[in-house]
Amino acid sequence: MTQAESQATGALADIRVLELGTLIAGPYAGRLLGDMGADVIKIEDPKRPDPLRTWGQGERDGHRFFWTVHARNKRCITLDLRAPDGQELFRRLVAESDVIVENFRPGTLEKWGLGYDVLSEINPGIVLARVSGYGQTGPKAGRAGYASVAEGESGLRHLNGYPGQAPPRLALSLGDTLGGMFAVQGVLAALLSRERTGRGQVVDVALTEACLAVQESVIPDYDAAGVVRGPSGTRLEGIAPSNLYRTSDDMWIIIAANQDTVFRRLCTAMDRPELADDPRFADHLARGLNQDELDVLIGDWAATSTLEDLLAHLSEAGVVAGPVNTVAEVVADPQFRARDMIVPHHDERTDTDVLGPGVVPVLGETPGSVRRAGPPVAGYDNAVVYGEVLGLSEVEQKELRERGII
């Protein structure tokens, strides 16, 4: 990446981020910050690069594509943080940066002499985002943690699937994604606070707590009423109609008409306006109590039309409905295309473009962007970063490289 390419124009264009750690949660947080314009410098061990480079189910020319998306908009350098000289170089980078994102097991930075007490002495404004399985404190803090276990321990996995069956996972690392998103939320709040106080702080994110935070009323339902919520298949218990239904061409349609006004529109669209005033379905509570019967009525009606016809009919009627798309249909969707949610990433390894997700959220004045795919090899940006940020000469870099420090 050239000097010009490194100058992003997003909302965080004046923020430099040092990204430590591997795999998903920390790198996902770094990706989101990079999408918004931050200069994200990903630091990899020169002997053990991020395993994410080899992840992904698709392959082309021996290259997999998880890395392409999660390392986008980053500059990649190598640095041995276990070596004293590597730790000294890192301290010099900290002095020139705003944010550090790491997802090591708690205590790792401290073991290397790089705890927040040390880093904040070097740079009082530094924000340290720490993503771990259980957080930096508490009886489980020292345990290793992965998203799948966090989803289970937080109770999130218990809510998924069908009653009486093994609770399945979403075919993604959801817990890591949630952890990364909460880390970015914390970083942005800490940067805003720094504007007032001049000081940074630690952002402590646990994967278990990120999974717990999205569970709506699960805890008060239990505490106040003794309700242990469980999986409910394709619907939510007590919220109806909001389910998927099979169409005449053997496709699935999701119809979400649980609000009173939208349900009345659905009844009209079904040529059954009387259902809106039926005591069994007249309001939210009644529909929740009788959702089995209501689902049968809607399912029988949906089965008489094709997906395309149903979508057109319900859209015209003002009823919320949509298909269950595969990725092939998502990539072709004109709405996603119109909002630049399917965008090319230039893969420097193969010198070709590969599609990936766009930048969320869309900012009106300082939009984010995808400026490059993940750098193809560890240390790809060593010369530029060490020269530009730390002023190291080619001779100094060569000596460090020969010693395995970078």
Q: What angle do CA 143, 146, 148 make, to 5 degrees?
A: 130
Q: Tens of pLDDT along 298-322?
A: 999 999 999 999 999 999 999 999 9
Query: What is the pTM for the complete model shown?
Result: 0.94
- For the segment 98-115, the average pLDDT, to the nearest whole number, is 97
Residues known to be catalytic: 176
Q: What pLDDT is attached to residue 347? A: 83
Which one of 3.40.640.10, 3.40.50.10540, 3.40.50.720, 3.30.930.10 gives the CATH number of domain 16-214+335-403? 3.40.50.10540
242-246+252-323 topology per CATH: formyl-coa transferase, domain 3 (3.30.1540)
Q: Where are the extended beta strands (E) located within 28-104?
A: 39-44, 59-60, 63-64, 74-78, 99-102
- For the segment 125-129, the average pLDDT, to the nearest whole number, is 98
Q: Tens of pLDDT along 330-383?
A: 999 999 999 999 999 998 877 889 999 999 999 999 999 999 999 999 999 999
Q: Tens of pLDDT along 204-263?
A: 999 999 999 999 999 999 999 999 999 999 999 999 999 999 999 999 999 999 999 999
Q: What pLDDT is attached to residue 2? A: 40
| Domain assignments of the chain as residue spans, ordered by start | 16-214+335-403, 242-246+252-323
Mean pLDDT (the chain) is 95
DSSP-derived secondary structure for 90-133? HHHHHHT-SEEEE-SPTTHHHHTT--HHHHHHH-TT-EEEEEES
Q: What pLDDT is attached to residue 1? A: 39
Q: Tens of pLDDT along 61-80?
A: 878 899 999 999 999 999 99
Q: What pLDDT is attached to residue 228? A: 97
**Cβ neighbours of residue 158 closer than 8 Å, sequence gap 6 or more:** 152, 167, 230, 231
Statement: residue 293 has pLDDT above 90: yes
16-214+335-403 and 242-246+252-323 in the same fold: no
Whether the CB-CB separation of 117 and 109 falls below 8 Å is answered with no
